[in-house]
Structure 1
Amino acid sequence: MSISAESVQFDDDQMWVNLSDGRTLGVPLAWFPRLLGATADERGAVEISAFGLHWPDLDEDISIQGLLAGRGDQTGTGGRAA
């Protein structure tokens, strides 16, 4: 069974991802500097696919498998890299 995102919400410090298996992941925005510095409208412009989360205007892609493994930004722009 493949786990995918069903929805995404934000608060001041966290991104909350509701998964198809019923779990909700809370991920610190500090792991993803592009999202941390984005406006609420920019964060809300997420595209959800079977592969993960994509913000075209922010050039940000986050895989669900990466989130489940505890990986943050892997581009070297900051954030937590596992």
Structure 2
Amino acid sequence: MKKHHEMDDIAIERGILSPVVDGQRIQRDLKQISPALAAATEEEQKEFEVSPSRYGIHWKLIDEDISIDALLGVAHHPTPSRRSA
């Protein structure tokens, strides 16, 4: 399985999500990236899993997902549809 990102040391403290992604520590305010995660209890915030491909993080107790690309500000654009003659 191809891994999209290398991730380490994911923490949430004082309303800030702070993972190490591809060797760099990033910090994002929960209120800006996920109001549901910001409103969750500390216990709910700590119960997460990283997808095997390292594409995202999932919080099962609140059914919330965040893609790592979104945290990094990576935008994906749709490819043009193929047309047949």
> Into which bin does the TM-score normalised by the smaller protein fall?
0.7 to 0.9
Q: Could you say which structure has the greater relative contact order, defined with CA pairs below 8 angstroms and 6 or more residues apart? A: 1
| Equivalent of 1:40 in 31, 39, 42 | 42
**% of aligned pairs identical?**
30
Gaps of 5+ in 2: 76-85
For residues 23 and 38 of structure 1, the distance between their equivalents in structure 2, rounded to whole angstroms, comes to: 26
Report the equivalent of 1:6: 8
Equivalent residues in 2 for 1:38-77, closer than 5 Å: 38-49=40-51, 50-69=54-73
Q: Could you say what secondary structure the match of 1:2 adopts?
A: coil
Provide structure 1 residue ranges, at least 5 long, that are not aligned to the other structure: 72-82
What is the TM-score when the length of structure 1 is the normalising length? 0.73
Question: Which amino acid is the alignment partner of residue 57 of structure 1?
Answer: L
- Between the two proteins, the alignment pairs up a number of residues equal to 70
Do 1:9 and 1:15's aligned partners in 2 also have CA atoms closer than 8 Å? yes
TM-score (norm 2): 0.71
Using the TM superposition, give the Cα deviation of residue 39 of structure 1 relative to its aligned residue in structure 2, in angstroms: 1.1
SS in 1 for 2:27: strand
RMSD: 2.0
Q: Choose 1 or 2 for highest CA Rg.
A: 2
